[in-house]
Structure 1
Amino acid sequence: MATPRTATTFAPPVMEARRWLAEASLPAGMELINVSQAAPVDPPPEALRQEIARIALEEPQAHLYGPVLGLPALREEIAAQWLTAYGGEIGASRVAVTSGCNEAFCATIATLLAEGDEVLLPVPWYFNHKMALDMIGGRAVALPTDDQMLPDVAAAASLITDRTRAIALVSPNNPTGVEYPPALIGAFFDLCQARGVTLILDETYRDFHSSSAAPHDLFTRPDWDQTLVQLYSFSKAYRLTGHRVGAMVASPKRLAEVEKYLDTVTICPAQIGQFAALWGMQNLGQWLAGERDEILARGRAIRDGFAPLADRGWLLRGAGAYFAYLDHPFDAPSDQIAQRLVGEAGILMLPGTMFTPEGDADGQRQMRVAFANLDAAGIGQFVERLAGFGG
């Protein structure tokens, strides 16, 4: 009997970590520090919540089916703002709205892969990308990263076969927080263009990039849409996690194939969330700039306050956007350390084993910290607790 698709992959890591929490007893009087999930825990700003209430009451269309590829006004706004941010040639016909960025990735690979086809994923990888490939019958090919957590173009070139259909990059990266330099992203584009494979570039965390300059110049390249598919999420920018609104930018030909997938899976993105994302893009620029400043400040707090952990053998591999990525100093594998941290230090975070192939030695000594929901005081408390953990 053939194995069902869902049985070919692992259980959702965040749900697994929640089971650890349910099974653990925190130290007396100690509140949990949860750095396991990369999602805002606060609701959208009040002005946006008021607009969502108005939409629900006054916009009949918000309760009906809409276009499969998304609200036309939102597609236009994305195209316009992307043109300002990146330059080049980006029109609404190259934009689709999806039910979150994960759906955008799933739709993309559905248009690219046949049974057994391959996608290169830098390791550590975003686990939902690996899960999606497993469940579609594709193969995730591990692309090693260096000490700076950056993938190597030459290594990628050596891994491309006649079954390779794409290379998928995430920048700023989940899980490491590392920002890929524009030249590196450009070099991967050149490789993909030369070898006839697609570059999938997930920029979910682009709003929290440390540079105000364009993170790459790919949209200015001739025929960019024959090679590039860019992915984006509104969950982090406007705290619309529960509304599930994402986007993708690709060729009109690619989006015609994507439309088949989306019409089958969700029919259309949730309308209220789309109206909310549009209002946010048009009205919350200054607020989002403040959010970016705060997230960047929290990243600096991690880097500046890391000394007590370094003194105890921890190594900071990367820190940016929502994440820090660490090497732990203990003999036990990271999944065991992560489970012990819940009951002994009141910290819930994910081990590197959840972001790497099974048995990967690097994953066994690495940990991901999703620090974006900790303020400066919370980061200080996190460092203190982790430094006091004996392993």
Structure 2
Amino acid sequence: MEAPDKRTALNRMKTVATGLLVVSAGLFALAKSHHDAGAWAWLAAFSEAAMVGALADWFAVVALFRRPLGLPIPHTAILPANKARVADNLAAFVRDKFLGTDALVDNVVSFDPAQRLASWLSEPRNAALLGEKAIAATGQMLELIDDDHVKSVLYATLRSRAERFDLAGGVGSLFATLTADNRHQRLLDEGLGELAAWLERPEIQKTLADKIVQIAGDEYPTLIGALGFVGLKAEDLGFKFAGGLVRGAGAWLADIAANPEHERRQAFDRAVARFIERLQSDPSFKQRIDDQKRAWLERPELREYVNGLWDDFTTWLREDIARPDSTLRAKIVSAAASFARTLGDDPVLRASINTHMHEAMRDVAPELSARIARHISTTVREWDDQTLVRDVELNIGRDLQFIRVNGTIVGGLVGLLIHAVSLAIG
């Protein structure tokens, strides 16, 4: 009920209660005008007691809110005079009776939040609503974010994490994993096969021949010039040398590939093992790697790269949420629907979610109820007396007027009873 309606109802009941008092007074005057003769004596007894009851209850009701007739009568204006105690008692009542830990947890149990969430998200319009709200919140967040600050934080976070990261140890552990069970030998086999195939390519052999001729011409110009006198071309000789080198290298690579105990394989094993050991245990080597890492972190290109990542991300995000067919919106809606199906079909998951919510409520309930109680107490204490009286009277004053009505009627009936008793014993 709105405040104006409450005020109208209160005034109506005050009029009724006061009207009964006036009627009682009128009846009393009428009875006395007939000198209590016959039945008028009964009317006088009724109306007199009714007036006493009406006035007594009027006093009681008014004394709850203010001083009757403005007189400094003790123990009146009870509510404003005891506002602090009323505030504390009201807060304690709400806390203990409505916000107790067991009551809040029981409400969570009966509410079954996991099932309700699954049912709510299973409705397509609700999943779409979630997507719309998420998109709107994302757009608002982008407007509030200070890009320069975010970029600085991202860069500082990346740099801090990188500075604490043991790069040498990490690389050493990675290589140790890669070389376990002779995996590096399989990599070597792949490399040898690729190298042999590369050397067999005609364009590579031509390049080798050209280099041989060029180097021979630079180092032995006289010898190269003399080849013309014996009917040989330098290019042909270069190709012969290149072909021989390729065949020799191919045979050597094939030998390494075919022999698991080949000296070059063992040398490769030793080189890898030394490198891993240095990464993991050589302080000077680790220090050199850390120095290189810090030098790389100081490069402006890194900051520019981080800034560019953030700019690209926010640009994509702004463009995406502005489109009717937003990818982000579609992903959120799809994820919500998928989660609803999973939650609806998995009682174990629902039970787990409910259990966690029960435990969370049990953890926060004492503090929550205490905070609400403090809020109620503080709010009531801060009300001025007129506001307190007005609000309480508007909400319960109408019911209190029934006390006046009942007091008038019951008082009159008691007056009749007393008159009857007095006649019986007179």
Instruction: Give the alignment's TM-score, normalised by structure 1.
Output: 0.18
Greater CA radius of gyration, 1 or 2? Answer: 2
Greater helix content: 2
